[in-house]
Amino acid sequence: MNYLPLTETDRQAMLCDIGVQCFEDLVRVIPSALRVKDLNLPGGTSELELARELAELSAQNQPPSRCLSFLGGGYYDHFIPSVIHHILSRSEFYTAYTPYQAEASQGTLQTVFEYQSMIAELTGMDVSNASNYDGASAAAEAVLLALRHTGRKKILCAQTLHPEYRQTIQTYCSGSHFKVVEIPYDSRGGLDKARLSAEIDSDTAGFIAGTPNFFGLAEDFSGIAQQLREAGALFILSVNPLSLGILKSPGEWGADIAVGEGQPLGIPMSYGGPGLGFFAVKRDLIRKIPGRLVGMTQDRNGKRCFALTLQAREQHIRREKAGSNICTNHALLALAASVYLSVMGREGLKKTAEYNVKSAVYLREHIRQIPGFEIVFGGTIFNEFVIRSTQKSSAEILKNLQNKNILGGLELARFYPELANCILVCATETKTKAELDRLVEALRSNQ
Amino acid sequence: MNFPSDLKYAKTHEWARTSSNEVTCGITEYAQKELSDVVYVELPKIGAGVKQGVPCCIVESVKAAFDIYAPVSGTITAVNSSLEAEPAKVNRDPYGEGWFFKIKPSSSDEFNRLMSAQEYEHVLSESAH
Amino acid sequence: MIERREFLMTHTVSLIFEKSKEGKQGWSLPCNHFSDVEIHSLVEANLLRRVHPQLPSVSEPEIVRHYVTLSQKNFSVDTHFYPLGSCTMKYNPKLNEDAARLEGFAKIHPYQPEDTVQGMLHLLYDLEQSLREITGMDRFTLQPAAGAHGELCGMMLVKAYHDGRGDKARTEVIVPDSSHGTNPASAALFGFTVLTVKSDARGRVDLSELKKLAGPKTACLMLTNPNTFGLFEDEIREIQKCIHEAGGLLYYDGANMNALLGLARPGDMGFDIVHLNLHKTFSTPHGGGGPGAGPVGVKKKLIPYLPIPLVEQKNGTYFLNYDVPETIGRLRSFYGNVGMHVRAYTFIRRLGREGLAQASRDAILNANYIKKKIEKEFAVPHPEFCMHEFVAQAVHQNNLGVHATDIAKRLLDFGYHAPTIYFPLIVPEAMMIEPTESESKETLDSFIDVMNQIAREAVHFPDRLKQAPATLEISRPDDVAAARKPVLTYKDYLGAAHLHSEKPEPGTPCPC
């Protein structure tokens, strides 16, 4: 086996040095009744054969190069600069571990420090952690932070937050007697502010919403932060980081915690994971933030350097008293996001964000004109919007599109039964005008 | 090590001083030495009720976190919020500037039953064996 | 005498922000077809950002040099022996990386119709079958993103199971005092009360103590086997009986599964729930701290509670099953860290039945070999044979004023990553060493020589250890200052007077 360096001679010599006859002598402690005879697995496969087999499996899937996709809903097809792949392929990055030994990990530590700085800038918050698993688990951890921080029992959650995030929050909260109350959307597809005001009370730990929301709409949160602050509750926003190239940041909205899915920042879709959960807070919550933090300090010779810090908050020290059990971060993907943001800079990010808005609005306005379709919610969008098919079922529409090698979008009834025959359509900077027109034509001929 | 004789002590290494029906609390010189450099103190909230022997606050060094137990039962009336900016005071002056919080005790019995400096030193020397 | 190795690690790298200059750009985007459209006509004024993010403006060559130079400041498995106990820093095969980057895996969207992702679902299905066979469990969810996430999933399953039986009294989770910190943290995070059971003199769960703790309130016992001393819990059947008779469940923390491939299975030991760390046992890279993947396997009685969706198959067609009425829900969006699943699948297929078993055998052999060869110089709390890792102690050295951390730092000077130190917490001056199967006898022999040399240095030149590392760019960061005055962003740094006594060095000199 070419991954195992020991030769048979080595093994014999080592057993001899240890002072045993055979390998079995080392593992006699395992009761014989528990020993496995032989695993019922296939034998090993050569690299050549396995590479061929994997290529065949991969070819049974349809990536965007083989079909025109307008799918969004939390994961997006974006342009990924070539640099990212090359830097992430440096095995000094990807085969290292959590930077416990600062002297042997300055590379990882500095990249995480830079990541924290960029996320804080992007979200308009003071402090970012070294990252969480994904947008959904980051949202759930933010909710737990609010519950812990306020000592209260109730969380308000916008119904337009990503349905899988809401489900994750529910699941995380199901262990203790926490109550998650959903705030519905109004006829415009935005947050029902009157319902929110009515639900805020002295037991409310916080309110979480997404923007752009699951219908693609950029929400107006004017006045919300103040209302929550007066009630002693925290304001949590889950945002698409790319939208922050032009849209108001959580900091500007007065949020206490900003979370979100970092996949749009240079991370391939990979069938939904691994992605990147980002997590940023205002300064007064710094000791409550879950996960790793990297700080700048000086070494014993006064040289600037980086180290993991505020570790006494964490599970390996506090054990059952820790605020979170998280001990990993998605460091490699945080690196991808850092490289992406370095490449884009403020200008590139803004241009990309504008590109998304313009493509999506162009598509929306052209679909609006097709008989048999209507735009369900108006308002400002980032890169996706909701259409309703008024003559045929959405399933039929999507099937017909798929026959033309187009993935037309996501059926919303799966998450919102009241939105029958509604489709969430997404257009990013990766779509050319000709491709947008192709979808429009296909929908037109569908009717 | 210095254990002022005008203070009372708990076996969990807190000290307590009483004046005008208020008990001021902190950690002993032994505790601050064991902890090494204190980097953070998570203080209780003013107005919070505390119970003798129950953790009410946490003190952190770089590599450890320790519970601080209320030496007497009562209500928190004041906290030393200057420790947030300067936790090093706990190491520098554990019986003075490094105090943690003040309690309005619900009774005087608990305070009186705390250990004297001599008894506390005895407990320390016992546990060293 | 072994010579110190000098590394190309002697230059500080300025921050990417410090390389920024107005007018530089790293991006390139196509001409916008809609450039005649004003963004203000599309976005309501009140929703537009006013405070713009201060991101760096840097050109592509500068970006590449910045990050590649930083990469060279890391120790990594591909460049250094990394005997970090409990972390299983084994070789990450390159075919895994190629596989995960295949377009049909890396670029597909999670909401694509199932008929456009059959190859992906097929792979996930087959991976689950393999994990079931390797562990002896009945069903797996691939959803958890990491080991600790798997533990949380396990705690949710424990609660759902007891609730499902109408038994609401089970509020306690028992963990050994030698357990990973995540175990009690995961249990507490989900609302359980944590009880700690002591280890006995043999380094195993103290069975008589356990019997006192187990009872009608016991929800489960979380156990690592082999445990964090690297010792097999040989009374596992008695432990199993004790917990099951009390009505609790048995949870297996799979962090140490690399010892048991093809040797023994947690399912056969009576464990009801198992999490695996694909980034340990199944060779997916650690990525500087993640992403990992922590699939959770269960026995039949717990299948109804697994998170949704599950990957299933009917007549050769693969699909996602959301119809799990008693499910705990979900722990994250979509299906899991699929990129890691592709890598683990590739590893399992490459090694196959015999290769996996040989990997564990070599991991055990390597650990015992190092242990035997350093135990004259370093104390070992448990003299018997170990499994894939062992704990040594710097207690002799302690009398000379040298600590485990000094030995760890000195190892860096010789080009070895340090072992895990001060863990398990209950062992003074612990150094936990796990060589994995990926190391050659030659590497082990050099490491052994260095360890023994360091032990001699502790006697004759203790200052060398206390001053270590001496050959790297930095030495012993001031952790106290870092925690007292946290500087966590570039903006913090600009305002942190205490860090400006020494000006940052301009730019990065090219090491060549």
CA distance C322 to C208: 44
pLDDT band at C3 (very low <50, low <70, confident <90, very high): very low
CA distance C16 to C20: 7
Q: With left for phi above 0 and alpha for psi between -120 and 50, is residue C191 left, alpha or beta?
A: left
Give CA C304 to chain center in angstroms. 28
CA distance C180 to C165: 29
Q: Is residue B22 part of a domain?
A: yes
Number of domains in chain B: 1
CA distance B56 to B51: 8
CA distances for B16 relative to A189, B99, C92, angstroms: 59, 9, 57
Contact assignment for C156 to A174 by CB distance below 8 Å: yes
Q: Which DSSP category does A26 fall into?
A: G
Contact assignment for A402 to C372 by CB distance below 8 Å: no
Q: Which DSSP category does B102 fall into?
A: E
Proportion of chain A above pLDDT 90, given as a percent: 93
Closest-CA residue of B relative to C479 is B62
Contact assignment for A162 to C269 by CB distance below 8 Å: no
Proportion of chain B above pLDDT 70, given as a percent: 98
Contact assignment for C483 to B63 by CB distance below 8 Å: no
pLDDT band at A328 (very low <50, low <70, confident <90, very high): confident
* Predicted confidence (pLDDT) per residue in C196-221, tens digit: 999 999 999 999 999 999 999 999 99
Q: Is residue A75 part of a domain?
A: yes
Q: Is residue A118 part of a domain?
A: yes
Q: Which DSSP category does C99 fall into?
A: H
CA distance A277 to A260: 6
Q: What is the pTM of this model?
A: 0.95
Contact assignment for C111 to A47 by CB distance below 8 Å: no
pLDDT at C348: 98
pLDDT band at C9 (very low <50, low <70, confident <90, very high): very low
pLDDT band at C508 (very low <50, low <70, confident <90, very high): very low
pLDDT at B66: 87
Locate A321 and state its tokens: 């008293």
Domain boundary among A320, A340, A360: A340
CA C115, C121, C125, C126 torsion-angle sign: positive
* Predicted confidence (pLDDT) per residue in C17-40, tens digit: 999 999 999 999 998 778 788 999
CATH code of A363's domain: 3.90.1150.10
β-strands C310-314, C296-298 pairing: unpaired
Q: With left for phi above 0 and alpha for psi between -120 and 50, is residue C174 left, alpha or beta?
A: beta
Q: Is residue A243 part of a domain?
A: yes
Q: Is residue B37 part of a domain?
A: yes
Proportion of chain C above pLDDT 70, given as a percent: 96
pLDDT at C228: 94
The answer on pLDDT for A342 being more than 50 is: yes
Structural domain that includes position B27: 8-112
pLDDT at A326: 86
A74 and A93 assigned to the same domain: no
Domain boundaries, chain C: 1-63+482-512, 96-350, 353-466
Q: Is residue A33 part of a domain?
A: no
CA distance A356 to A358: 6
Q: Does A283 touch chain C (CB under 8 A)?
A: no
Average pLDDT of chain C to the nearest whole number: 94
Proportion of chain A above pLDDT 70, given as a percent: 100
CA distance C136 to C63: 48
The answer on pLDDT for C361 being more than 50 is: yes
CA distance C507 to C509: 6
Contact list in C for residue A27 (CB cut-off 8 A) is 232, 263, 364, 385, 387
| A387, A393, A395, A400: CA torsion to nearest 10 | -90
A87 and A75 assigned to the same domain: no
Contact assignment for C484 to B88 by CB distance below 8 Å: yes
Mean pLDDT in residue range C282-291: 97
pLDDT band at C12 (very low <50, low <70, confident <90, very high): confident
Q: Does A170 touch chain B (CB under 8 A)?
A: no
A351 and A221 assigned to the same domain: no
pLDDT at C11: 59
- How many of the other CB atoms lie within 10 Å of CB of C40? 9
Contact list in B for residue C480 (CB cut-off 8 A) is 37, 39, 62
pLDDT at C502: 52
Q: Is residue B117 part of a domain?
A: no
CATH code of A212's domain: 3.40.640.10
According to CATH, the superfamily of the domain at C353-466 is Aspartate Aminotransferase, domain 1 (3.90.1150.10)
Mean pLDDT in residue range C303-321: 97
Q: Does B39 touch chain A (CB under 8 A)?
A: yes
pLDDT band at A28 (very low <50, low <70, confident <90, very high): very high
Closest-CA residue of C relative to B64 is C425
Give first-to-last CA distance, chain B, whole Å: 17
Q: Which of residues 65-104 of B touch A (CB under 8 A)?
A: 65, 67
CATH code of B25's domain: 2.40.50.100
pLDDT at B65: 84
* Predicted confidence (pLDDT) per residue in C458-502, tens digit: 999 999 999 999 999 999 999 999 999 999 999 999 998 888 865
Contact list in B for residue C483 (CB cut-off 8 A) is 39-40, 60, 62
A61: nearest CB among C51, C120, C265:
C120
CA distance A238 to A324: 19
Contact list in C for residue A83 (CB cut-off 8 A) is 26, 60, 63-64
Contact assignment for B64 to A317 by CB distance below 8 Å: yes
Mean pLDDT in residue range C236-264: 98
| Residues 6+ away with beta carbon under 8 Å from A102 | A109, A305, A306, A307, A308, C474, C477
A165 and A288 assigned to the same domain: yes
Q: Is residue A25 part of a domain?
A: no
Contact list in C for residue A38 (CB cut-off 8 A) is 262, 353
A350 and A297 assigned to the same domain: no
Closest-CA residue of B relative to C477 is B62
Domain boundary among A340, A375, A396: A340
Contact assignment for A312 to B40 by CB distance below 8 Å: yes
Domain boundary among A340, A355, A378: A340
Q: Does A287 touch chain B (CB under 8 A)?
A: yes
Closest-CA residue of B relative to A317 is B64
Contact list in B for residue A321 (CB cut-off 8 A) is 58, 65, 67
* Predicted confidence (pLDDT) per residue in C407-443, tens digit: 999 999 999 999 999 888 889 999 999 999 999 999 9
Q: Does B62 touch chain A (CB under 8 A)?
A: yes
Mean pLDDT in residue range C70-74: 97
A176 and A113 assigned to the same domain: yes
Number of domains in chain A: 2
Helix, strand, coil abundance in chain C, percent, nearest 5: 40, 10, 50
The answer on pLDDT for C1 being more than 60 is: no
> Which of A323-332, C227-236, C292-301, C332-341 is least confident?
A323-332
C346: nearest CB among A50, A107, A345:
A50
Locate A214 and state its tokens: 């699951």
pLDDT at C107: 98
Mean pLDDT in residue range A164-176: 95
Q: Which of B56, B58, B67, B83 to mutate to test the interface with A (most CBs of A within 10 A)?
A: B58
Contact list in C for residue B63 (CB cut-off 8 A) is 422
The answer on pLDDT for A238 being more than 80 is: yes
Contact list in A for residue B40 (CB cut-off 8 A) is 287, 310, 312
> Which of A19-23, A103-107, A255-259, C10-14 is least confident?
C10-14
State the architecture of C96-350 in CATH terms: 3-Layer(aba) Sandwich (3.40)
- For chain B, which residues score pLDDT lower than 70? 128-129
Q: Which residue has the tokens 């760096």?
A: C56
Contact list in B for residue C422 (CB cut-off 8 A) is 63
Structural domain that includes position A392: 68-80+345-446
A181 and A324 assigned to the same domain: yes
